Structure 1
């Protein structure tokens, strides 16, 4: 079995794979102030509650967009799992040719998503990851990473509205049935969610046109991340929702680097 960790700005998502099967998935809050031992206490408890023996973990792989948390996590893995983790970054085999001006600027999570999506579909793709930031990534039909777009995440947009407008409350991210709403909370929810759906569809349409103008086939649009299902229900452009895309990508990259 292997342990995979996707370290985001808000959450750390952990998964255990036995070959290609995801056995269990957990989420922890990202906190760079925690020590290796503090993370170990949390992780040990998760293993215990799930009935998984930590000694059964043969290897670990991590992707991270939070550099200042990595010392604690790497130290925790070495101390409590007695192994050195693979860190997704320069020098790690991914099978993806990155066509960025500076390939080192591409977030590890975006590369991992591209690996998983292309492994599944083997076609041109647009990948949308609804995280703290929302990322749009264009993948060519030959698997090249062409580039993409980064937007403020839906939660960031919601918090900004609450913090900067004195009379507006913090609202739950629930989609109203209509956009003509009769109270402030529903009006804010409609604006945030339907506005975000419109943004997603507009960006995807533009990316499709740019890709096809360069000779690419019509791409499949794949969404992942915590709010993917909420947005996909009313989106005109999202074809597939893959909730475990990043974890699957980590599993695939791990196998590429031990073979």
Structure 2
């Protein structure tokens, strides 16, 4: 089986694949300072007997200090040396940005998976710590995208930079028009974010010259996706599938 690991700013997400089927998945906090020893113990507890069935591994990371720790933990636990999503790894995309080395692994993986699973042109909306939109043509060209602060960052900034507005949890208010301060903040954070995404999708499609498949993913994808007027596909495991696909394209190298 293949163990795929997506190291993000907030979570480490793991997926265990049997062929193309995702059999199990887990989510851990990507706490700064995590060591390979701690991670090995955590992974051993999660995988259980399946640790001995792992034959391949792949890691994609946007947190460089954790990348080496995760790799060491995987090698020590499974004996498998994982592929790392880094420059030189075959993705199947043609990157058309000004500086391809700036691209985070998660954005590339999302684009790979969306194109493979749902076809292009497509717009991937990843709602996590940051909100990103990534644009891929039907011919497999990655054109670039949009990066914005996610709702949780916005909530923290609002509480920090104002004297009388408290930090609120991200819960849908009963109405767009808030009847109290807490619901008004929630409406701004969630409905406002949804409106931003809808506007961006419209503008991106205008630049593309036609309609694109809109795919949502990320920790807040299900919550905010409910507020979007148009979502073609919600795929909570899109990044993991991107890791699986990239692994298959590099396995024989």
TM more than 0.5: yes
Q: What RMSD over aligned residues (CA atoms) do the two structures have, in Å?
A: 1.1
Secondary structure at 2:201 match in 1:
helix
Q: What does the per-residue CA deviation read over 1:175-212, in whole Å, with 9 as the maximum and x for residues that have no partner? A: 11212222111111111111101111111111110111
- Number of the residue aligned with 2:190: 193
Are positions 1:71 and 2:64 aligned together?
Answer: no
- Number of the residue aligned with 2:172: 175
Instruction: Measure, in 1, the Cα distance between the counterparts of 2:181 and 2:240.
Output: 38
TM-score between both structures, scaled by the size of structure 2: 0.96
TM-score between both structures, scaled by the size of structure 1: 0.94
Q: What does the per-residue CA deviation read over 1:87-136, in whole Å, with 9 as the maximum and x for residues that have no partner? A: 00111111011001111111100110111110012220011101111110
Instruction: Measure, in 2, the Cα distance between the counterparts of 1:181 and 1:133.
Output: 25
Are positions 1:20 and 2:17 aligned together?
Answer: no
Q: What does the per-residue CA deviation read over 1:22-43, in whole Å, with 9 as the maximum and x for residues that have no partner? A: 1111111112312101111111
Are positions 1:148 and 2:145 aligned together?
Answer: yes
Secondary structure at 2:95 match in 1:
coil
CA-CA distance at 1:84 after TM superposition: 1.1
| Conservation of the 8 A alpha-carbon contact between 1:232 and 1:238 | yes
Are positions 1:220 and 2:193 aligned together?
Answer: no
> Gaps (5+ residues) in structure 1?
none
Q: What does the per-residue CA deviation read over 1:36-84, in whole Å, with 9 as the maximum and x for residues that have no partner? A: 0111111111113xxx421110011011001111121111122221121
> Gaps (5+ residues) in structure 2?
none
Instruction: Measure, in 2, the Cα distance between the counterparts of 1:171 and 1:79.
Output: 41
Secondary structure at 2:145 match in 1:
strand
- Number of the residue aligned with 1:42: 42
Question: Mean Cα displacement is larger for which, 242-251 or 171-180?
Answer: 171-180
Mapping for residues 92-131 of structure 1, pairs under 5 Å: 92-131=89-128
* Aligned counterpart in structure 1 of residue 158 of structure 2, from 161, 167, 178: 161
Instruction: Measure, in 1, the Cα distance between the counterparts of 2:225 and 2:40.
Output: 36
Q: What does the per-residue CA deviation read over 1:197-244, in whole Å, with 9 as the maximum and x for residues that have no partner? A: 1111111111110111xxxx4211111011112112121232211111
Are positions 1:237 and 2:234 aligned together?
Answer: no
Instruction: Measure, in 2, the Cα distance between the counterparts of 1:67 and 1:234.
Output: 34
Instruction: Measure, in 2, the Cα distance between the counterparts of 1:174 and 1:35.
Output: 33
Are positions 1:10 and 2:3 aligned together?
Answer: no
| Conservation of the 8 A alpha-carbon contact between 2:40 and 2:76 | no
Q: What does the per-residue CA deviation read over 1:2-26, in whole Å, with 9 as the maximum and x for residues that have no partner? A: 1000110010000100111111111
Secondary structure at 1:53 match in 2:
helix
CA-CA distance at 1:144 after TM superposition: 0.6
Instruction: Measure, in 2, the Cα distance between the counterparts of 1:53 and 1:190.
Output: 43
